[in-house]
Amino acid sequence: MSPSRSETGTVVDPLRPADHRDSDAPSEINGPALGVGGWARWAWRQLTSMRTALVLLLFLAIAAVPGSLFPQRTADPNGVTQWQRDNPDVFPLADAVGLFDVYSSPWFSAIYLLLFASLIGCVIPRAKHHYKALRSVPPRTPARLSRLVDYQETMIATDEATADPAGDAVRLAQHQLRRAGYRVHRYDEPGWASVSAERGYLRETGNLVFHIALVGVLVSVAIGGGFAYTGQRVVVEGTTFVNALSDYSSFNPGRFIDGTRLAPYSITLDDFRVSYQLPGMPGAGQAGDFSADVTIRSSGRDDRTESVIVNYPITVAGDRIYLLGNGYAPTLTVRDAAGEVVWSESQPFLPQDSNMTSLGIIKIPDGLPEQLGLVGFFYPTQGVLPSGAFTSVYPDVVNPVLTLNVFSGDLGIDDGTPRSVYTLEVDGLTQHTGGDTGLDSLELTPGATVNLPNGWGTITWEAASEQEPVKRFASLQIQHDPTSGWVLAFAILAMAGLFAALFVPRRRIWVKARTVPAGVHLEYAGLARGEDPTLHTAVRDIANDHAAALNRARGANPEGETR
């Protein structure tokens, strides 16, 4: 039946349906509605694709960057306080988006959970497919091996007494390939025999191991986050830290930690040693080494001494103890007008620069006519700037000086609101020395005593000793993570799987033999999955080794012709 023309001149084929795109009949072709289930399946396929998993892994790496740029409350609460002091206008916004709690923020957790679901969705079907592939036999030998890029052929003379020279040649190749680590299977047809060999499944196994190990890392980190805790404590020389919730400066527990079952031990800071490059030498003032010598006491064990060094933590009852920082802690005593001691402590002063110019806050809530807050600066080696302001010119204690500005008023301690011991809210307080008061700041040297304003009493700097007039403190971080070993094991497993996925070649080799009047015509061919620059060499070596073995087996030495 021949096509005809319609009134509009369009060629109409009677074999085409009326709603064909070339027909004159108006038609509306609508795809089937997916519905809720269809859209859910589509979304799941998109989420569990390898492309999505890689994108989420990239997003997770990018999302972790702020954790290294901004101080984190779990690791450096003092750094967060300092950042807030230096950037008071930007801090509320940065805190609202979770830049100081990156790894527990909602946006980081969302990427984390999506990556977890994506990896699970990728790994399960691929593992099933890989398991089936491992149980299957190598594919049939192609009819025309010469079409493959890596191809060689050889003619081998045979002994006329041999009943099946082609079969013998293939059996020998089968044995050699099996010894070389290939999975082999015979495929014989009338007139020829062949062996199909395959190896390199370790590549896909390594790929799966890598992704399973990533899931293991994610699970371990998630579980560890629930049962781990991190705490900080500033310990002054000669004082003791007890591993109890009440003795921490800051404590960040996991979801399932309430702080009531901490391991019972205590740490006493016996001595903090630091060496500085002397003036006039290269790198003058730089610290050469830090070491916190501590005595550890734990239940049921003898006391022992350890040294906590930067990047070399110690382990106590499963807790890892790190040295985060250090500084000076002048010992100050405040007496009232009658000479009675109302406050006496070794107060840590936080370093503000490389020469250890340090800031300290002293709060005296009771014992005086008003609550007092003192903002002090400690200069290990006092120098004077051109402006007349004091500074430290060397980090070691050579010419120590302490200055204090005195504030009075309600310190906000009695209302139950938590207050940092390293900050003082001066709004609403009355300043008595320094600044615009017209009175100089209080200035002390080791062993000196000065009067407080308004005859309220005195403050004395108690010298620790003539050799060391001021004590030092060490900032320790106590970290407990029961899954850290699992994270390390999965990370090593992931690296091993990645190396296998990158460096193990996946290839197939075929050896085909047929008997001809001149002997046995042998064909060798190889095919790689992906890039394999060594495939040509592998096919050539297999062909040469096989030909040599055939000649030795037949007791003949004719040269086979290889093309």
Token pair of 491 as six digits: 């990370």
pLDDT digits (tens, 9 = 90+) for 523-553: 999 999 888 889 999 999 999 999 888 888 7
Task: Provide Rg for the chain, Cα atoms.
Answer: 40
**b vs e for 116-134, b when ≥16 Cβ sit within 10 Å of the residue's Cβ?**
bbbbebbbeeeeeebeeee
Token pair of 149 as six digits: 């890029």
Phi first, then psi: give them for residue 382, nearest 5 degrees. -65, 135
pLDDT of residue 562: 44
Contact indicator for 283, 263 with CB cutoff of 8 Å: no
Q: Residue 318: what residue type? A: G
Question: Looking up tokens 């779990």, which residue turns up?
Answer: 74
pLDDT of residue 555: 64
The arrangement of strands across the sheet holding 449-451 comes to 341-346, 331-336, 457-462, 449-451
CA–CA gap between residue 476 and residue 354 (Å, rounded): 20
Token pair of 319 as six digits: 């807790």
pLDDT of residue 68: 87
Using H for helix, E for strand and C for coil, what is the string for 268-307? EEEEEEEEECCCCCCCCCCEEEEEEEEEEEECCCCCEEEE
pLDDT of residue 400: 94
Contact indicator for 376, 407 with CB cutoff of 8 Å: no
Closest CA to 270 of 323, 301, 311, 307: 307
74: left (phi over 0), alpha (psi -120 to 50) or beta: alpha
Question: Looking up tokens 């900080």, which residue turns up?
Answer: 232
pLDDT of residue 4: 54
Q: For the beta carbon of residue 276, count every other beta carbon within 10 angstroms.
A: 19
pLDDT digits (tens, 9 = 90+) for 125-139: 889 998 998 888 999
Which segments of the chain have a pLDDT < 50?
556-563
CA–CA gap between residue 321 and residue 323 (Å, rounded): 7
Closest CA to 450 of 432, 472, 423: 432
Model pTM above 0.85? no
Contact indicator for 177, 541 with CB cutoff of 8 Å: no
